[in-house]
Amino acid sequence: MWFVKIKILWFIAFCCAVQHISAKTHHVDSTTGFNQLVAQAVIQPGDEIIWKDGIYSNIDLDLKGFNGTPNQPVKLRSETPGGVVFTGASRLNIGTDHTVISGFHYRVTSNEQTPKQIISFRSRGNIAASNSRLTEIKIEEAEPGKPILQKSKWVVLYGQFNRVDHCYFVNKRTRDNLMTVYLDESNMPNGAWHRIDHNYFGPRPNGRAAGGSSNGWEIIRIGDSRSSHLSAFCRVEKNLFEGCNGEIEIISNKSRDNSYIANTFLNCEGQLTLRHGAYCVVAGNLFQGNGHAKNEESGVRIIGPGHKVVGNTFIGLSGQGERGAIVISDGVENGAANEYEPVANLEIRSNTIIACRNPIVIGSFSGKVHPSGRVINVAPQSVLISDNYIVGGNPIVTFLSQSKPDVTFENNIAYLTGQDSQKIAGSKVQFSPKEILWQNGAATTTNSGKSLSTGITRDNVGPSW
């Protein structure tokens, strides 16, 4: 019996070796050459397609007709990391599974020829990719300047189990989300399960400067109002957002069961907005402002039921009202998918809020009329705010709901400054001003010993080149 087992193991090892040996390397340097390679149907699991270094204009690639495997993905990469620069109206469509694309540099010139989607995880024939990866990619505006109303997206995710990581996105001028996740209930009833991690999302100018609508300038949007009832199960983690000033929603969550974990938002005039959907987790993120005079730096805004906001750090955010550090919105009774679903069963726990103008706001948009004509007047219900640590803020909690919200405060600690007088039921309030000490890249509040998150830095994200 042992002899038979050994023979089987040797056979498996032999098959693996044959597969490895059979993997081929293909060299290309043009759209024509790439299309010919695809048309020949010779690309097999484990193959590598290497694009020759250089600067290329209007390169139009459509990955289709081949797939890798979990252990042998097909790889499309630049000859050297960052050595291939695509300019003009270049675009990439990925309609293959288990494919890894890396090392390319896109320099986008925003004009009428800009593609509607620079990189899409779907072929021109509408075949969505799954289990594919975009990594070590740069996309940046070739001519930074004022935003324009021309619409384009830089990365669009379809399919399931795709990943975007260690990429660099800077200075997007065109209107529309930088990165969009589309959900299709018929093709993925069990969720999308995409992962967006370790990316650098750099400065984006405020869309109001384009002269049109201030809506539609987000960095990331997951889902939309039509798919807000779907569970996406996407994970956005360990990314750095810096100077992302396109609009109030840096991230616009519009689906269910997504996680936003350990990201850093640095000097951004906006917020992570749970706009539609339910049961999302916002945990371990750092939101840090610089007291900007425009008073638009914010943290998290919550709409809808079942969310958890846990273990985040908010420092020096100048926003107030609907742009406070943690904002809980009023809703529309029996609202439509594109309106404001009332907040219920919300947990806000173990967050640290330091030197923010409005630490907690309850009932934003109360009494206002939604564009649909419906009044936003349903106060948050079954909200638990517990074990949070707050220094400064005047007032600590801002109540805007015109009807009575159902909020329970438990075991919160607030250090108030000399101008503050508010007490929070069920919480410990101390009336002694505290200072923040920065030592060795970490923040500590005096007399408390509480260490604050240092967040993600440029060294932790983006391409290695």
Span 78-101, pLDDT tens digits: 999 999 999 999 999 999 999 999
Q: What is the pLDDT confidence band of residue 187, given thresholds at 50, 70 and 90?
A: confident
Backbone angles phi, psi at 239, to 5 degrees: -100, 155
Give the whole-angstrom CA distance, residue 181 versus residue 369.
29
Mean pLDDT score across all residues of the chain: 89
Q: Which two tokens stand for residue 160?
A: 């399931």
Backbone angles phi, psi at 38, to 5 degrees: -65, -40
Residue 440: how many CA atoms within 13 Å on its side-chain side?
A: 2
Backbone angles phi, psi at 252, to 5 degrees: -115, 105
Provide the residue ranges of all domains of the chain, joining segments of one domain with +: 144-460
Q: Which two tokens stand for residue 330?
A: 């009023």
Nearest to 461 by CA among 163, 240, 264: 240
Q: What is the pLDDT confidence band of residue 424, given thresholds at 50, 70 and 90?
A: low
Give the whole-angstrom CA distance, residue 124 versus residue 158.
12
Please give the pLDDT value at position 20.
Answer: 52
Condensed to tens digits (0 to 9), the pLDDT of residues 103-121 reads: 999 999 988 889 999 999 9
Is pLDDT of 12 > 70?
Answer: no
State mean pLDDT over 195-205: 98
Is pLDDT of 439 > 50?
Answer: no
Is pLDDT of 261 > 70?
Answer: yes
Nearest to 415 by CA among 400, 399, 443, 394: 394
Give the whole-angstrom CA distance, residue 174 versus residue 140.
12
Residue with tokens 């997504």: 258
* DSSP per-residue string spanning 211-264: TS-S-S--SEEEE-GGGTTSB---EEES-EEESB-SSSEEEEEESBS-EEES-E
Contact between 132 and 121 (Cβ < 8 Å) = yes
State mean pLDDT over 25-32: 97
Is pLDDT of 446 > 60?
Answer: no
State mean pLDDT over 391-401: 85
Please give the pLDDT value at position 335.
Answer: 82
Residue with tokens 């010919």: 36
Nearest to 436 by CA among 452, 414, 460, 413: 452
Give the whole-angstrom CA distance, residue 305 versus residue 381.
9
Condensed to tens digits (0 to 9), the pLDDT of residues 345-367 reads: 999 999 999 989 999 999 999 98
Beta strands (DSSP E) in 46-165 are: 48-51, 54-57, 60-63, 74-78, 84-87, 91-94, 99-102, 104-108, 117-120, 133-135, 138-141, 148-151, 153-157, 163-165
Q: Which of 10-19, 87-96, 179-188 has the weakest average pLDDT?
A: 10-19
State mean pLDDT over 65-81: 98
CATH superfamily of 144-460: Single-stranded right-handed beta-helix, Pectin lyase-like (2.160.20.10)
Contact between 114 and 145 (Cβ < 8 Å) = no
